[in-house]
Amino acid sequence: MTQNKRVCIASLELKPMRLLMRLTRQATATKEPTETEVRAAHAWYQDKLWIFDVTGNTKKERLVEVFEYAHQRYGIDTFIIDSMMKCGMAEDDYNGHKAFVEQLCDFKTKYNCHIHLVAHPRKGIDEVKAPNKLDIKGSGAITDLADNVFTIWRNKNKQSAHEPDCIWGCEKQRNGEWEGKINLWFDGDSFQYLNHPGQKSCSYLAALTAHY
């Protein structure tokens, strides 16, 4: 949104009010933003952010229909689906997974947009080991068809401040050369992930108030 992109989020596991609260904490880089900060943030979202107002399972056909309308009516070019398991398919419906991802790929090609699809990993013996693209639950077509595959692993057994809270991995880049991992540190007040321990979280408030 800071790059003047219009975003539609289908956060099927999080109610819109809760999602907006988290986004506003991230945007203002504070745990308890003032009323003025909240109003500034929401005014800034006005022509940049749309939320698919469904919590729980939805039909994948309906989701794509809404995305198509959002793109054609409002020029939205970035879509987020959180998560695949809420799109009306069984965990073992591999043909359904493949057909859905193919549909999303056709959509992004037709409308020259980005779609971020959240897919969960399979349950392992423990959570000590970071997952890779082969650990994603469901059909292998999910990663085969995607242009990019990223993994996010939370370090629940963190022992010291020097250990990262999270590891973000780039497992696949169809149109790029780099693959690798980046260590990140979580700031609980701003809900932001930072590049190193002690780094100050970034407030977008200047940009927000400028628009407000």
pLDDT in tens, 150-180: 999 999 999 898 999 999 999 999 999 999 9
**Is 107 within the bounds of a domain?**
yes
C-alpha 39 chain-centroid distance: 24
Structural contact between residues 183 and 154, judged by C-beta atoms closer than 8 angstroms: no
pLDDT in tens, 6-46: 999 999 989 999 999 999 999 999 999 999 999 999 988 99
**Is 47 within the bounds of a domain?**
yes
**Tell me, what CATH number does 46's domain have?**
3.40.50.300
Helix (H) or strand (E) holding 123: none
Helix (H) or strand (E) holding 103: helix 94-111
**Is 169 within the bounds of a domain?**
yes
Q: How many independent structural domains does the chain possess?
A: 1
Quote the domain boundaries for residue 95: 7-211
**Helices 60-74, 94-111: inter-axial angle, 10-degree rounding:** 10
**Is 138 within the bounds of a domain?**
yes
**Is 120 within the bounds of a domain?**
yes
pLDDT in tens, 105-129: 999 999 999 999 999 998 877 788 8
Structural contact between residues 130 and 153, judged by C-beta atoms closer than 8 angstroms: yes
Strand order, beta sheet including 49-51: 49-51, 7-11, 78-82, 114-117
CA dist., res. 102 & res. 124, Å (int): 27
**Is 139 within the bounds of a domain?**
yes
**Is 2 within the bounds of a domain?**
no
CA dist., res. 19 & res. 38, Å (int): 13
Strand order, beta sheet including 166-173: 148-154, 166-173, 180-187, 192-194
**Is 1 within the bounds of a domain?**
no
